[in-house]
């Protein structure tokens, strides 16, 4: 079970890296950011598929997408200078709370 959450973590990291460079790829006209995007999304789906061996699809996807939203938002704010207003921060907090509830309290998560 632990390795499946490791795979899920790797899927999240790969997806976040790809999404974070999507704008810099400029419609896939810039080589290196485009390669990171393509490889990142490929690795993300590969590791997500390994995760789905034991973690239900809905739970894995909720964790993957929720963590991805929070991390991409943090990267946008910290590294790209994007602003987050109060409503955005509250929404991100609720997403994070949802991911924590699934991981800490849901029996569906396969604990």
Per-residue pLDDT, 83: 94
Is 110 a member of any domain?
A: no
pLDDT at residue 109, as a whole number: 62
Is 4 in a helix, a strand, or coil? helix
Does residue 111 fall inside a structural domain? no
At 8 the pLDDT is 96
Range of the domain at 14: 2-105
How does DSSP assign 17-75, residue by residue? HHHHHTTTTTTTTSHHHHHHHHHHHHHHHHHHHHHTTTS-HHHHHHHHHHHHHHHHHHH
**What pLDDT shows up at residue 103?**
83
Q: What residues in the chain have per-residue pLDDT under 50? A: none
CA distance 55 to 50: 9
18 domain residue, yes or no? yes
Return d(Cα 51, Cα 4) in angstroms, integer: 5
In total, how many domains does the chain have? 1
| Total-model pTM | 0.88
Residue 101 lies in a domain: yes
């Amino acid at each position: 079970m632990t390795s499946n959450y490791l795979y899920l973590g790797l899927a999240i990291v790969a997806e976040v890296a790809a999404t974070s460079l999507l704008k810099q790829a400029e419609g896939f006209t810039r080589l290196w950011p485009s390669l990171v995007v393509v490889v990142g999304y490929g690795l993300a789906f590969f590791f997500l598929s390994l995760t789905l061996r034991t973690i239900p699809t809905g739970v894995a996807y909720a964790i993957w997408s929720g963590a991805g939203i929070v991390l991409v938002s943090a990267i946008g704010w910290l590294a790209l200078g994007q602003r987050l207003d109060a409503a955005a921060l509250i929404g991100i907090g609720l997403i994070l709370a949802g991911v924590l509830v699934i991981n800490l309290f849901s029996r569906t998560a396969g604990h």
